[in-house]
Structure 1
Amino acid sequence: MKQRLNITLSRELIGEVDGRRGLATKSALIEHELRKSFGMPPQGTSTRTEREG
């Protein structure tokens, strides 16, 4: 079952996203900000940390 998540993006983030080219880059930037706001590590960080440790 899909659930909808309502979020509010800051004007600074919207400006940064608009300045980027390509949908993948914009999606990655938004995903990074969402992960940061929920206290989650950036994508791929846990894998690198496990390899280094």
Structure 2
Amino acid sequence: MPNALSLRGGYALGAQAGESAVREMATDAGFTRFRRAAQTPFNAVYEIRP
């Protein structure tokens, strides 16, 4: 995360970003399809497509 803070763009999300922050970043990057593909108590897997 310190490296992300040193770069332009403002995306220093870290490991606990949450679905809404990841969705917003994907949308800002131009992706149009976003869904949670899988989830465990410790991990979330997102499918992000153009």
Query: When you count strand as a share of all residues, which structure comes out higher?
Result: 2
Q: Please indicate the TM-score interval, normalised by the length of the shorter structure.
A: 0.3 to 0.5
Higher relative contact order (CA 8 A, sep 6+): 2
Computing the radius of gyration from Cα coordinates, the structure with the larger value is 1
- The structure that is helix-richer by fraction is 1
Normalising by structure 1, what TM-score? Answer: 0.33
